[in-house]
Amino acid sequence: MDRATQATHDEFAEYVRRRGPALRRMAQSLVGNHADAEDLLQNALLKTFFAWDRITSPNARDQYVRRAMVNTQISEWRRRRLDVYPTDEIPEQRVDDPSWRTDLTDTVSRAINRLPHRQRLAVILRYYEDMSEAEIASVLGISVGTVKSTVSRAVAKLRHDADLVREQPSRPRSG
């Protein structure tokens, strides 16, 4: 391996070490479980590695990885939509380690996971990743107006989600 190739590998490895935890959190919020998040992030990082030389700005790297995760996840949802068949048997699902999650976090995650996929992506990018509407529009390949209406509809659905309404603390009445 020549020096330039080694330098590229080292630079990419350092990027993954530094930004990995934040990118893993985004992947987790997109897919809802640790194992799928690891797979999603791994796929996005692989795509990023092959494009590393073309990503000229260090500031664009996170956006490239995010876009790769979003596109990969959308493709997965489309593929799964074709492969899902109703059944009378409910498969057992793994329970994540409860030591790092609160009941409210769990409730909010479940409510967000019930949103349609575009609304879920918009909410995650806006409120978890703290991206601007313009950045979200760029990542999702839609207009800023579509981002605004999508987030608005998603927040309205979350406000009326029965689980979230139940979780709100009761407020003392003044008077």
Identify the structural domains of the chain with CATH numbers, from first to last: 1-83 (1.10.1740.10), 101-169 (1.10.10.10)
- pLDDT exceeding 90 applies to what percent of the chain? 24
Return the closest-CA partner of residue 127 out of 97, 156, 151. Answer: 151
Q: 70 versus 56: which is more confidently predicted? A: 70
The predicted model scores a pTM of: 0.51
Identify the pLDDT of residue 170.
52
Per-residue pLDDT reduced to its tens digit, 16-51 = 999 999 999 889 888 888 888 899 999 999 999 988
